[in-house]
Amino acid sequence: MAGDPTGSLIASIPKLNAHNHQDWKFALEGEWEPTDELSGVLSRCRMLYGAGMGVNALTVLTDVVKESVGVTWKEDSRMEEMLALVDTDLCQAIQSAKEEMDRVGGKGADVEAARKAREKLRDALMASREDARRLVEAVITTSSPQELLIIEHDLNTDGPNVQASTKTADAVDDVKPKKRGVKKEEKDDDAKKAAAKKKKEEEEEEATYKWWEQQNADRDGSMKWMTLQHNGVYFPPPYEPLPKHVKMKYNGEPVDLPPESEEVAGFYAALLESPHAQDAVFNKNFFDDFLKVLKKSPPRNGIKITRFELCDFRPMYEYFEAEKEKKKSMTAAEKKAAKAAKDELEAPYAFCYLDGRKEKVGNFRIEPPGLFRGRGDHPKKGALKLRVRPEDVTINIGKDAPVPKPNVPGNWKEVVHDNTVTWLANWVENVNGNYKYVFLAAGSSLKGQSDMQKFEKARELKKHVDTIRADYNRDLKNKQMMERQRATAMYFIDKLALRAGNEKGEDEADTVGCCSLRCEHVTLLPPNKLVFDFLGKDSIRYYNEVQVEDQVYKNIRIFKDNKEDDDELFDRVNTGALNRHLQSYMKGLTAKVFRTFNASLTFQDLLDRGTPEKGTVQEKLNAYNHANRMVAILCNHQRAVPKSHEQSMSKMREKLRGLKYERMKLRHALFAIDPKYKKKKKYAEPESDLDDDAIATHEETMKAKDIEKAEKKFQKDNEKLEAEGKKPQAESVLKEKIKEIEAEYKRLKKERGTEKHALKKERPTEKIEEAIEKLDDKIKTFKLQMEDREAGKEVALSTSKINYLDPRITVAWCKANDVPVEKLFSKTLLTKFPWAMEVDPDWKF
DNA sequence: TTGGTGACTTAGCAACCGACTC
DNA sequence: GAGTCGGTTGCTAAGTCACCAA
């Protein structure tokens, strides 16, 4: 993009949020209003500075310039250096002016001092503006490294306050060095270089900050941070009414809804073709809430809506679908531009500064309003989830950090400074009264530390698990019913990886875990089998027929005795008591730790035993996926069979048949050349599953494909001829071609089963042998892939990988087996587990 | 001991995205 | 360049568990 006119580049910088601008104006008491075209650039600096983001004008300018000129120059490290040299003075000037202003502002009485401080700050900003202008202009009018060097030199000798140049390509000429005393020049250079170096070091430190190598002896576990700065949360844009012609109907009549009720109708309309709209509870809850909204915001054309079955949301649904299509058909450039604009708006919320380090925020977007999509038989599904306003949101931020302003009108519910928690914002949602939180991203130091601690705790359990198991096995016969129930529950938690199973309320889906199992969920199957059948978390069915110790079987029979189906199986045990008991063995031990412990330990064990030492990468990956799948099955991590699964399997089967067919033809070619190959075992055996029927099916498929190809080619050729003003080929040409194809397949059919059924082209036997070898490898790998896919169609591998498998197991295994870790960890997982990347190949869980 | 509250992790699904094929 | 497909990411519901007051 270098060389673009300044205007268009500046125009591409998205506008600021109004409140940030006002912030700044407030700071300057209206004495200075940016008017030139670079105000956008400077606003970014002001916004971040105003929001107390620990401003570094260099970073801001660098970002802005990068955004302005696109990617071309990003790779030019000289440019980075140049920017670093330019901006250090400016940065310091702004910082000191701001500090002074804060100081005198705090006293309140010294009007004159405050005025001077404001002036200082304004001057610093004006300098910033000139620098920004020069930088942007220089960069956009520059395309070669040589020119950049000239500018670098110019900027070094001029200092930050030089006059702005013109905004055309002449700019480079305009920034020629001005004479200055050598000593001062050297001094400036040294200071700038030192500051730039420091800055670079800071950036590098930020990029490679390894919290897992730091000692946090100065902090007890309860303090999560010392300083915290952020820009709050991002509220979704307000509702935009639909075009006038798009209206729901009631009893066949269009309904003129005001925006408040139209928005709610739209929530439902969008789900019209989803299973939700077929759900009676969902529909009832939605309609009850819709009626409440209609009472406040009734149709403007007087229609009275009272019956759900007379509502027709289809016009709205069709409009939404059309809009989706429109969005889909946008060009790549349009999509990119839209995304860039969205990113720009959201950028201030995506990061925070925790103890001075830049960290990514996870879910900084406030959940938009909609209909509650509870899972399973949730009694409240379909209820209206209200729009969250700033008045609903509490912000948690450092004491000294400036309080951000919401991006929509309104004020925060509360601003707190609680450094014993990790959330940046929270609110209570209206449907279930649950708290919702904004936390740091999964790759942040806080989440990473907590993750690592979780796995370390699970590893610590190794030291205690023998004692615990011995105790609960003993207590299976305990005369105290409570202890016997507890021991049995622990047996299930340990052996079957069941969840703890807290009590649930009436207004939630009826799901259970270990402690909340009811008699109906466990059936006795003599002599010693138990059948578990219940809905667990997320209403996912847990079904397991499992052979248990005789004593466990006996206990369940006793616990069920004289009870109704819907009575609690463990009526003397709850999660609280169970966890308190576990704490007596090990600090921090709870039922949940057993799941992590058993998942990781099983995984490690399966990898150790199942990885083929001399296998191919694919074979090793299969062993890994197998181990991963076993853990996912243990933890009951299910997923819906992908819609395209059967289709994709059938394609794979077809491809495999093709590979085998190719092999058969190669074999036959060998036989045709030299019949003694027939006696070699390697070539004598026919391909498995490739009987006459399979060959016939395959040849039919190939024939159909060849004919289709010929038809397409014929059509394309004719179009080309017509475009050139030539006469198109006659239909007979196509017919002749198809005839040829059919003849070829007829020949193949006739020769089927004989060595004539071979390749047409003659090749030396060594080449054919080589080709068979390659095909064998290909078939083997492909079969493994197919098996893997089929076995995993109902199992979600990602949940265990993200939550239960110590990442160090994976990393060490990859190192020991020469498998690139990228094959197993996506970008997100690599970011989530940086602390695991340095383990030795022989590390074990 | 119990029940409620608050903070955090775990979970499946849908939308998105990028590689691949034609 | 368009269409397909499968993996990845974002979203938010649904768990676990500590803590506190009664």
pLDDT number for residue A202: 45
Q: Is the CB of A156 under 7 A from strand C?
A: no
Tell me how crowded residue A690 is: count the other CB atoms within 10 A of its CB. 17
Widest distance between CA atoms in chain A = 108
A283: nearest Cα among A143, A409, A383, A168: A383
**Chain Cα centroid distance, residue A322:** 27
Residue pair A386/A291 in contact by the 8 Å Cβ criterion: no
User: Which residues does nucleic strand B approach, with CB less than 7 A?
Assistant: A 224, 274, 335, 339, 418, 421-423, 426, 428, 433, 435, 437, 439, 447, 450-451, 454, 499, 503, 537-538, 540, 574, 576-577, 592, 595-596, 635-640, 796, 798-800, 802-804
A538: nearest Cα among A662, A638, A612: A638
Residues 6+ apart with CB under 8 A from A676: none
pLDDT number for residue A782: 76
**DSSP string of A727-763?**
PPPPHHHHHHHHHHHHHHHHHHHHHTTSTTSS-SS--
Active site residues of A: 804
* Structure tokens that stand for A484 in this block: 């016997």
pLDDT number for residue A710: 77
pLDDT along chain A (845 residues), means of 10: 26 26 28 35 37 35 41 34 40 50 42 51 48 43 31 32 25 27 40 49 55 66 91 96 96 97 97 94 97 97 96 95 84 82 91 94 96 95 97 96 96 96 96 96 94 96 97 96 96 97 94 97 97 96 96 97 94 95 96 97 96 90 92 93 80 80 83 82 78 77 76 76 79 82 79 66 80 82 75 89 96 94 94 95 96
The β-bridge partners of A352 are A359
CA A431 – CA A423 distance, rounded (Å): 21
A796: the nucleotide nearest its CA (via C1') is B12
Using a 7 Å CB cutoff, list residues 361-400 of A near strand C: 363, 365, 367-368, 370, 372-376, 378, 385
CA A580 / C1′ C22 distance in Å: 21
Please tell me which residue lies nearest to nucleotide C9, judged from CA to C1': A828
CA A812 / C1′ B21 distance in Å: 36
CA A576 / C1′ C22 distance in Å: 18
* Structure tokens that stand for A118 in this block: 């404001």
Q: Say if residue A727 is exposed, middle or buried (CB neighbours under 10 Å; 0-12, 13-18, 19+).
A: exposed
**DSSP string of A514-566?**
STT-BGGGEEEETTTEEEEEEE-GGG-EEEEEEE--HHHHHHHHHHHTT--TT
Hunting for tokens 């309609």 — which residue is that? A287
- Sorted by where each starts, the structural domains of chain A and their CATH numbers stand as 6-211 (no CATH), 224-434 (2.170.11.10), 446-602 (3.90.15.10), 647-786 (no CATH)
Please tell me which residue lies nearest to nucleotide B22, judged from CA to C1': A709
CA A464 – CA A588 distance, rounded (Å): 12
pLDDT number for residue A24: 28
Strand B: positions under 7 A of a protein C-beta atom: 1-3, 5-14, 17
CB burial readout A231-261, b (16+ within 10 A) else e:
bbbbbeeeeeebeeebbbbbeeebbebeeeb
CA A636 – CA A535 distance, rounded (Å): 11
**DSSP string of A179-228?**
P--HHHHHHHHHHHHHHHHHHHHHHHHHHH--GGGS--TTS-TT---S-E
Residue pair A189/A88 in contact by the 8 Å Cβ criterion: no
SS3 A440: strand
CA A837 – CA A812 distance, rounded (Å): 8
Q: Is the CB of A592 under 7 A from strand C?
A: yes
Residue pair A595/A635 in contact by the 8 Å Cβ criterion: yes
* Structure tokens that stand for A76 in this block: 């030019």
CA A642 / C1′ C5 distance in Å: 11
CA A341 / C1′ B17 distance in Å: 18
Q: Is the CB of A430 under 7 A from strand C?
A: no
Residue pair A812/A842 in contact by the 8 Å Cβ criterion: yes
CA A432 / C1′ C22 distance in Å: 24
SS3 A612: coil
Q: Say if residue A720 is exposed, middle or buried (CB neighbours under 10 Å; 0-12, 13-18, 19+).
A: exposed
Give, in order, the Cα–Cα distances in Å from A618 to each of A116, A196, A471, A645, A650. Answer: 70, 48, 43, 21, 21
Hunting for tokens 């129930």 — which residue is that? A485
